[in-house]
A = this chain, B = another copy of it.
């Protein structure tokens, strides 16, 4: 008998209410019965996105919703800014380039947050910039960007601000309207505590003006078609019914806890994880001023095989964390504290990490990590 524990930055574990909802008998989507469900989902999303604007649901992974942002805002030969501080920032550039959209790339050193001033300089240098594509939490590095500050800058330009909040929404604060975020993209398998398969996107009034002019070809991800359908409480194509039914359970849980408490819980889980890591003599990968409360990225200590560490924890002990991606492969490991995670998930994960690191010859005081985490949880 081996139990399985999931502490990866998406998917995250599912609450039992969500699992139960996934298993319900299916209903047809062109019925008043489903309209009640869809209305509840889109209203609930507004609460979580902290927006008064429409939030659209695609049957797609988060990347599909990112593509929706690009193709609905841009025309071929337009110029946009993309902020690249990791694998997911790079994805914005890749999508834009696939559609012939010119990108002014702000390269940020991995592990650091973008300096909002850099966005300001680039925006002022080119008045034709159509959009600024950013990332709330760069999951690949464990960094959080200052979207609020970027929003203040982009607000007064002709450009719109697009935020990939796939990793971060419903986990850390993102005030879509108050922070002037025009398009916010998210997905189901992270803070929403659902299986992957839903992409979300909110659209500001400023953005609709640009969307009407955009000429990138699109069909499945066409927001104008989605808007026409949503106005009649409908979807242009068959929606992922079971996932939307489950989404309403997740929204209910988030509302019950309250967004502020959700954020507080994530901060606590992250803080305990970071203290544990440091107490074990390990180092965090990101700069101290850019630490995300969504996922903690840790440098693999010298002499330890990072890939083997992750594999052993997963395949021998059933505790799944994430390794590094792209250029960070083998160099970091990542512990997520996102979604349906409580303090004892963090405790068991640190315990497993202590065990495997000891087995791999890394020297530290056994139990030091757990003690540091417990101290944080005791204070609450």
Contact = CB atoms under 8 A, between A and B. Distances in A.
Interface of A: 4, 6, 8, 10-14, 19-20, 22-32, 58-64, 67, 76, 94-95, 98-100, 187, 189, 195-197, 216-222, 237-243, 314-315, 320, 322
Contacts of A196: 29, 59, 238-241
B22 A242 contact: yes
Nearest to A240: B197
A242 B189 CA distance: 11
Contact of A63 (B30, B62, B237, B242): B237
Contacts of A63: 219-220, 237-238
Nearest to A166: B238
Contacts of A27: 4, 6, 11, 320
A11 B28 contact: yes
A219 B24 contact: no
A45 B22 CA distance: 23
Nearest to A245: B195
Given A19-B24, A196-B59, A242-B197, A29 B11 contact: yes
Contact of A31 (B30, B32, B220, B320): B320
Contact of A59 (B32, B60, B99): B60
Contact of A98 (B4, B60, B218): B218
